[in-house]
Amino acid sequence: MDTIAFSQNTRVSVETPTAFPVADDLIEALVPFLRHYPEVQQAFLVQFTYPPGHDPTIGDAPCLTCVVQLDGDPENRVFNAISRASQPIVDGRLGPWRFLDFFRYDDSVSNVIERTTAPFYVSSSLR
């Protein structure tokens, strides 16, 4: 487990998903979904654990999070589109996780994410 500074005075624990099982078909569904977005370079599946009381909609349980590295997209249009369009892809595949959160990969989190897990998706342009 590692931590990142999520915002000022907030540290988030980052680790491989261990709180609940991750269905194999979740990753199998996400890979072809992400291929539709050429801006996606890599994607990682981790669990974020926020401090108690950070966000009542998340609660204190670990949150299954897809960290997406994008080429470009300074206004987050592609990132937001991925997050919105993913709902039908992940429905029925999350089990006790309840929802899949998306987080934008950047230099501030790259070391922690890459120490935590390998990407489950790598663009063909990076292979």
- Would 112 be classed as within a structural domain? yes
Which pLDDT value is given to residue 61?
81
Higher local confidence (pLDDT), 120 or 10: 120
Listed as own residue / partner, the contacts of 97-102 with beta carbons closer than 8 Å and 24 or more positions apart are: 97/17, 97/19, 97/20, 97/22, 97/63, 97/64, 99/63, 99/64, 100/26, 100/64, 100/65, 100/66, 101/48, 101/58, 101/63, 101/64, 101/65, 101/66, 102/65, 102/66, 102/67, 102/68
- Would 77 be classed as within a structural domain? yes
- Would 83 be classed as within a structural domain? yes
Q: What is the CATH number of the domain that holds 7?
A: 3.30.460
Tens-digit pLDDT profile for residues 19-65: 999 998 999 999 999 999 999 999 999 999 888 777 777 777 899 99
pTM of the model: 0.90
- Would 127 be classed as within a structural domain? no
- Count of domains observed in the chain: 1
Question: What range does the domain containing 103 cover?
Answer: 2-122
